[in-house]
Amino acid sequence: MVKHPPPTPPAAPIVVDALSKTYGRGADATPVLRDLSFSVARGEWVFLVGPSGSGKTTLLSILGCVLSPDAGRVEVLGRDVRSLSPQAAAELRLRNIGFIFQRFHLIRGLTAQENVSVPLTLQGANQTVARRRADELLAAVGLAEHRHRNVRKLSVGQCQRVALARALVTNPDLILADEPTASLDGEHGHAAMQLLRELTTQSGATVIVVTHDPRIQSFADRVLKLENGQLCANQSPLSPNTPAPRNLGTDEIRSIGEFTPTPPEEPQNEPEPMLVVE
Amino acid sequence: MGTLALKTLLDDRGKLLTALVGVVFAVVLVNVQGGLFVGLIRKASLLVDNGAADVWVGHRHMNNVDFPRDIPRRWVHRVRAVPGVAAAEPYIIGHSVMTLPNGGFEQVLVVGSDPATLLGNAWRVVEGRADDVRQTDGVIIDVCDADKIGHPQIGDLREIGGQRARVVARSEGILGFLVTPYIFTTIDRAAAYLHKPADKCSYFVVQLEPGADPAAVCRDIRACLPEVEACTRDEYAGWSIDYWLKRTGLGISFGASTLLGLAVGLVIVAQTLYASVLDRLSEYAALKAIGATDRQIFAILSSQAIVMAIVGSLVGLAIVLACQSFVSTPRAPIVVPWWLSFGSVTLVLVICLAAAAAPYLRIRRVDPAMVLQT
């Protein structure tokens, strides 16, 4: 595995300054992001929240170098996104950014091990090395015994863990997760985030998560709330009354394999809102 | 990358099977059509290819072995005197009419060889012996043409050009490009059947001494006999084939149907690859989002196309071999030379790679951001 660090290690892996993005032209022009400015520190977990259409996914796409901003400056891992050629952007994504997609987008027909080793294969890594690294990560996410199974035969929860392992296999500096728990019930969603936390603690990767799921927001160091393309909140998610996330042990996480519907919860008191919109 | 390409290909078994049918169809069509064409066109040079002569000497404007023009027999001595010539014998080929027992008649192509050497006599004799042709009135007919001349058995009599002919042997598979049956006999008897003057013949068939250069011998023969043409066996076979190719447009006819088959194969493979890509568009978009380059995507698609081409070609060639074994007949031989198989597989490979272009262009247009939108 060849890892190419950015030319100068940035203090803030993500710097966004006066970012704007508009879809369409002329009368059909729809502003999606307006004058956003924020930065993310190394190792920080930042969640992007907000209603549908607020621009979260567009922002994530720009941070992932798959979209280019129309105006403003966006630096990802020390590289100006607007100045990146498509090849340079692909290279940056391949070597320094890990993606977790909402629907996983695992490659049907490949085993869990082969799916996880795809980014390393794309990097040109030796197959044996790539598979060994994939095995390590699959073991870490509790799928060692399923590494040779076709992903078609895995449960939703297991696919999520394969996607997680794939995002981490290149040991990226930045992880972008798009609704990573949308397909999971509460317990599995929590376990997946806990697992991601454990696996990224050592590497110190920065994690950006787009989510609608309030149950996992307690994992965030900071929450950015978007509305109509504008940043309307930028703060820590934990209010004094919000319970801290329940940390599952590694064995407990690995024991969770099959997707099971969330059992109906006992009626509880309305929790404190996690965010205060200014 | 190869594993990814292969396993995703195998994962879509239905589509793979459809694409393979397209490739197999193209390979079988090209080889069987081409084999039939080669088998047919090779009949035009049958006597040259099998006549055991290294050099053919004939009229200066000779262009087809079955349509010769007379040359004086006495020139054979001058040919024999050319350095490098081991043997040269006069040879007669000409059209005559065989009268049948029922009163009917059939055009025949009489072939007469020197009775001493029998150079250019019938081969593949399955009944009687080839040298039985030396017997009085002896002729050799081919069993495949027997129906045209009333199914004569050994010893049966016929009349050719008003002269008596007795079947002394039967060959199998000596069928010319024309529909007229070959009748092999000795040169003098052939001259009689053809009412040809005894001092005339159609060709001199020449065998060379070991190590002699055929081209040099031909050049020397032409120098010593300016009225004749001399060419090697391969040259004259080529001329005889060209004669029919240019005058009948046979190549265009066979070529057009073969190209049509290739086009159908191309469409099937392209459509299948395209459908497969559409089915996996989000996966390819995810690959692009992860960082796969267009070149890597093309490598995946072209690997799949190559696998389809190779597997389909192998299955196709197996079917062609079966066709050769079970369907090929002397009348409609399927002759598949190595260059035809090699050429068809190469062509199919190129076509499959070309078929990968359409899905590749489709993936190029895919925005990797789509995987973040869904």
Give tens-digit pLDDT for A23-82: 888 878 888 899 999 999 999 999 999 888 888 989 999 999 988 899 999 999 999 999
pLDDT value at B19 more than 80: yes
Q: How many CB atoms lie within 10 A of CB B358?
A: 14
Distance (Å, rounded) from C-alpha A241 to C-alpha B97? 116
On whether both B81 and B22 belong to a single domain, the answer is: no
pLDDT band at residue B4 using 50, 70 and 90 as cut-offs: confident
CA trace torsion B138, B144, B146, B147 (10° rounding): -170
User: Average pLDDT for residues A208-213, to the nearest whole number?
Assistant: 88
The first and second tokens of residue A275, run together, are 């965010």
- State the Cα angle at A181 between A179 and A185, rounded to 5°: 145
Do B266 and B303 reside in the same domain of the chain?
yes
Best CA proximity match to B338, nearest among B329, B350, B349, B346: B346
Asked whether residue B48 is domain-assigned, the answer is: no
Backbone torsions φ then ψ of A77, nearest 5 degrees = 50, 40
User: Does the pLDDT of residue A8 top 80, yes or no?
Assistant: no
Residue-level pLDDT at A102: 86
* Identity of the residue in B7, B285, B291 whose CB atom sits nearest the CB atom of A93: B291
Region B180-197: what's the mean pLDDT? 94
**Is B9 within a domain?**
yes
Q: Tell whether B89 and B205 lie within a shared domain.
A: yes
Measured between CA atoms, the residue of chain B closest to residue A127 is B1
Dmax (CA) of chain B: 95
- Number of structural domains, chain B? 2
CA distance B286 to chain A (A): 6
Residue A86 makes CB contacts below 8 A (sequence gap 6+) with: none
Contact B367, A66 (CB under 8 A): yes
Residue A187's SS3 state is helix
Could you tell me if B213 and B100 lie in one domain?
yes
Q: How far apart are CA A248 and CA A197, in angstroms?
A: 11
Q: Residue range A197-219: average pLDDT?
A: 86
The reply to whether B319 and B181 lie within a common domain is: no
Give the C-alpha separation, B197 to A82, whole Å: 95
Q: What is the DSSP string of A50-68?
A: -STTSSHHHHHHHHTTSS-
Q: What's the distance, CA B282 to chain centroid?
A: 49
Nearest to B305 by CA among B12, B29, B20, B24: B20
Residue A277 pLDDT more than 70?
A: no
Of B195, B226, B257, the last residue of a domain is B226
In a domain, B338, yes or no: yes
- Residue length of chain A: 278
Distance CA A272, CA A240 (A): 9
The mean pLDDT value for B87-96 works out to 95
Model pTM above 0.90: no
Closest chain B CA to residue A93: B291
**Strand B138-142 to strand B163-171: parallel, antiparallel, or no bridges (unpaired)?**
parallel
Angle between helix A112-123 and A156-168 (nearest 10): 20
Interchain proximity A121–B290, CB inside 8 Å: no
> What SS3 class is residue B312?
helix
CB-CB contact of B344 with B31 (8 Å): yes
Same domain, B195 and B264: no
Reported as a single tens digit per residue, the pLDDT across B296-310 is 998 998 898 899 889
A228 touching B (Cβ < 8 Å): no
For residue range A241-257, what is the model confidence (pLDDT) as tens digits? 333 333 334 444 344 33
User: In the predicted model, is pLDDT for residue A267 greater than 90?
Assistant: no
Which of B226, B261, B279 delimits the end of a domain? B226
Alpha helices in B58-171 (DSSP H): 76-80
Q: Reduced to 3 states, what is the DSSP secondary structure of residue A39?
A: strand
Say whether both B318 and B220 belong to one domain.
Answer: no
CA distance B8 to A38: 41
Residue A6 clears pLDDT 60, i.e. is over it = no
Shortest distance between the Cα of A178 and any Cα of chain B, in A, equals 7
Cα separation values, B163 from A201, B99, B134, B190, Å: 108, 10, 16, 10
CA–CA gap between residue B320 and residue B4 (Å, rounded):
32
For residue A21, name the pLDDT band (cuts at 50, 70, 90): very high
Residues B77 and B35 in one domain: no
Do both B95 and B33 map to the same domain? no
Q: CB–CB of A121 and B8 under 8 A?
A: no
Tell me the pLDDT band of A150, cut-offs 50, 70 and 90: very high
Q: How confident is the model at residue A264 (pLDDT cuts 50, 70, 90)?
A: very low
**Three-state secondary structure call for residue A71:** strand
Query: Could you give the angle at which helices B13-42 and B294-326 cross, rounded to 10 degrees?
Result: 50
Mutate to test the interface with B, among A32, A57, A58, A66 (most CBs of B within 10 A): A66
- B54 assigned to some structural domain: no
**Chain A: residue whose CA lies nearest to B364:** A86
In a domain, B235, yes or no: no
- Identify the weakest region by mean pLDDT among A105-109, A118-122, B248-252: B248-252
**Which domain range does residue B329 map to?**
2-42+249-372
Average pLDDT of span B80-101: 94
Residue showing tokens 């990224």: A200
pLDDT at B185: 96
Select from A57, A64, A127 the Cβ nearest to the Cβ of B289.
Answer: A64
CA distance B155 to A199: 97
- CA B167, B171, B172, B177 dihedral sign is negative
Is the domain of B74 the same as that of B216? yes
pLDDT at site B374: 58
Strand ranges in B54-104 using DSSP code E only, listed in sequence order = 55-59, 71-72, 85-99
Q: Is A171 left (phi over 0), alpha (psi -120 to 50) or beta?
A: left
Interface test with A, best of B3, B10, B16, B290 (most A CBs within 10 A): B290
Q: How many CB atoms lie within 10 A of CB A271?
A: 11
The DSSP H or E segment spanning A112 is helix A112-123
Residue B242 has pLDDT above 60, yes or no: yes
Asked if ipTM goes beyond 0.90, one says no
Q: What is the distance between the alpha carbons of residues A35 and A33, in angstroms, rounded to a whole number? A: 7
Q: What is the pLDDT of residue A10?
A: 58
- On the question of pLDDT at B260 being above 60, the answer is yes
Q: Are residues B74 and B214 in the same domain?
A: yes
Query: Of B191, B226, B261, which one is at a domain's C-terminal end?
Result: B226
Residue B8 and residue A64: Cβ atoms within 8 Å? no
**Rounded Cα distance, A222 and A208, in Å:** 10
Dist. CA B150–CA B70, nearest whole Å: 31
Mean pLDDT of A181-193: 77
- Secondary structure class of B135 (helix, strand, coil): coil
User: Do the beta carbons of residue B135 and residue B157 sit within 8 Å?
Assistant: no
Q: Is 60 exceeded by the pLDDT of residue A262?
A: no
Q: Is residue B242 part of a domain?
A: no
Is residue B53 in some structural domain?
Answer: no
Cα-based distances in Å from A150 to A115, A162, B150: 9, 11, 70
For chain B, the distance separating the N- and C-terminal CA atoms, rounded to the nearest angstrom, is: 26
- Do B221 and B76 fall into the same domain? yes
Amino acid at site B266: L
Q: Give residue B373's pLDDT.
A: 67
Please provide the average confidence, as pLDDT, over all residues in chain A.
80
Higher pLDDT, A59 or B251: A59
- pLDDT tops 70 at residue B73: yes
The tokens describing B94, both together, are: 């000409």
The pLDDT assigned to A261 comes to 34
By percentage, how much of chain B surpasses pLDDT 70? 99
Residue-wise pLDDT for B263-301, tens only, equals 887 788 788 878 888 888 888 889 999 999 888 998 998
Query: Which residue in A has a C-alpha nearest to residue B297's C-alpha?
Result: A122
Q: How many A/B residue pairs have CB atoms within 8 Å?
A: 87
Percentages helix, strand, coil for chain B, rounded to the nearest 5? 55, 20, 25
CB count, 10 Å around CB of B6? 15
Q: Look at residue B50 and tell me if it is in a domain.
A: no
